[in-house]
Every structure is written in structure tokens, then in C-alpha cells.
Structure 1
Amino acid sequence: MDRTQLLKGVLDIAVLAVLKDQDGYGYDILRRLRQAGFTDVGDASVYGTLRRLFQAGHLVTYVVPSDSGPHRKYYSLNYSGRVQLDLAAKTWTEFADTMGDLLGNRAR
């Protein structure tokens, strides 16, 4: 199975989950996703997802000056983003349970 197709389907929830407990700037979010196991995720995909989630009203941004380079734009979940994450987590859990049942991988 092509992991890149699966990744496209879950990148929004993965980005929201990464931001759940800690704000982050673009490269930091990318790094945390890769550390979590999304090694195939591309830079452009993450930055596009951040823009889309911001435009949808699920994220807020703020700029932090940097002594060692350009200012960094940080992303943070707002109330709408937390609601979206909760809904997506519920949907994901139900989907994973259903697939587990179909594949016979769940203990009964």
C-alpha cells in the first residue's frame, strides 16, 4: 500500500495533534512529524497544510523575533482547531476500529 496516499488523508489531523500541547513554527512542526514516524512527509505538504488550516480558522499565528536569523511565524491551535482535532480523533478511532475488525486484527 502506498504510504503517501495514507499520509495525505491524515496530514491535517497529524499537524493539529502536533500543535495540541505546544505551538510551533513550520520547520519545527515538520521535524516533530518526522520524529513521530512520518518520515515521508514533504516540506511543501506541511506548509500547505498549515496555510489551509489557518485559512479554515483552526490556527492562529504570531511572529517571534530571532537573534540567529529571520523572525519565525508560530502556529497555535485555537478553539476551532481543538474542536476539529477532537472530531478528527473520534473519526480516526472509529475508522481504525472498523479496519481492525475487517482485517481481523482486533482482540475480542
Structure 2
Amino acid sequence: MGKQETEMLKGVLEGIVLAILAGRSAYGYEITAWLRDQGFSDIAEGTVYALLVRIEQRGLVDVEKVPSEKGPPRKVYSLNTQGREQLTEFWRTWSFLVERLEQLHHGKD
């Protein structure tokens, strides 16, 4: 992944993670693995975990500690009402940006 792509991804990673959690509950490693499977190979686990801490602190997710066969309990994240509202706003903003970028790309005013 190039530097520009990495920087752009940082700007939308929260929305991507919220969208993942809108589909199902998951823990940090699952989210990282899914992102890597989707081609975001340069995503570090630490980046995802730091983002999960931030969205938890902002009240966008509910967290449940689930026993793990290996090591300490896992924190499983699920999107709550506030998180769904944030995700709706993310998609609204995303649609606006895509539309404007398409206009720029194709030379339309």
C-alpha cells in the first residue's frame, strides 16, 4: 500500500470498522484479519486496537468480555444505537465526497 493510500485509509478506517460491526459483533483480531482479507494488508493490529479504544470511549460500541481458550478474555465489540447514528453520518459524508470527487474527476462543475 502506498503512502497516499495509507493516509486516505486512516481517514476512513473508523467508518470501515463501524460498518464491519454493523454486520456482526467482533473482537479486534477478527476485524484486523477481515481487513487484511479485503486487501488492506498494511493495517497493523495496534491501529485497529487503538481505534477500538477510541470508539469505545466515545460510546459508539458495547463491549462484552468473552472467555478465550488462549489467554485473557476477549473484548467483543458490537455497534450500539449511537454507533449506528455515527455510521449513518459516515455514509452520508462518504456519499457527498464520492459525488464531488466524481465531478472533479470527470471535469464537471
Task: Give the TM-score normalised by the residue count of structure 2.
Answer: 0.89
Structure 1 runs of 4+ with >3 Å offset: none
Q: CA deviation at 1:105?
A: 8.6
Q: CA deviation at 1:69?
A: 3.8
Gaps of 5+ in 2: none
- Which structure 2 residues correspond to residues 11-26 of structure 1 after superposition, within 5 A? 11-26=13-28
Aligned residue number for residue 40 of structure 2: 38
Aligned residue number for residue 62 of structure 2: 60
Alignment RMSD: 1.7
Aligned residue number for residue 9 of structure 1: 11
Gaps of 5+ in 1: none
Q: Matches of 1:81 and 1:62 in 2, distance apart?
A: 16
Number of positions where the alignment pairs a residue of Structure 1 with one of Structure 2: 106
Aligned residue number for residue 99 of structure 2: 97
SS at 1:76's partner residue? strand
One-letter code of the match for 1:30? T
Q: CA deviation at 1:66?
A: 2.2
Aligned residue number for residue 47 of structure 1: 49
8 Å Cα contact 1:63/1:74 also seen in 2: yes
SS at 2:76's partner residue? strand
Alpha-carbon deviations, 1:46-98, whole Å to 9, x = none? 11110000101101100111234432110110000000001101100110111
